[in-house]
């Protein structure tokens, strides 16, 4: 698994797990957070890629609470994450809840 830190809004690979852990303790990784009714939409930088893909997926939007609870999307760049966050907020506001 590769680990990354943000330099500005750009992910940069780090050389070791300890360097990544040190970065996480000192960094603000929240990209955006929005409350819609009983749902919180949160987008953050994780700093690691569980998909092992190219390009790596390092950002994640998650819906917590409400009828869309658990909905998640991952992105490679800060810009994609911001757009994805906004798109998720709009979907939570306008799309009917998933059927049970």
Q: Where are the domains of the chain?
A: 29-94
Query: Which tokens in the block code for residue 8?
Result: 């500005």
Look-up: residue for tokens 């690691």? 48
* 38 φ/ψ sector (left φ>0, alpha ψ -120 to 50, else beta): alpha
- Please provide the distance, in angstroms rounded to a whole number, between the alpha carbons at the two ends of the chain: 36
pTM beyond 0.85: the answer is yes
**What three-state secondary structure class fits 56?**
coil
Strands (E), the chain: 4-7, 10-13, 30-36, 39-45, 59-64, 72-75
Which stretches of the chain score pLDDT less than 50?
100
């Amino acid at each position: 698994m590769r680990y990354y830190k943000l330099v500005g809004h750009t992910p940069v690979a780090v050389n070791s797990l300890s360097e990544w852990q040190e970065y996480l303790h000192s960094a603000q990784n929240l990209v955006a957070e929005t409350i819609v009714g009983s749902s919180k939409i949160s987008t953050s930088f994780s700093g690691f890629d569980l998909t092992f893909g190219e390009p790596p997926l390092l950002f994640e939007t998650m819906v917590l609470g409400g009828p869309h609870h658990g909905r998640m999307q991952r992105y490679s760049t800060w810009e994609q994450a911001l757009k994805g966050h906004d798109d998720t907020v709009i979907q939570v506001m306008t799309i009917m809840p998933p059927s049970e």
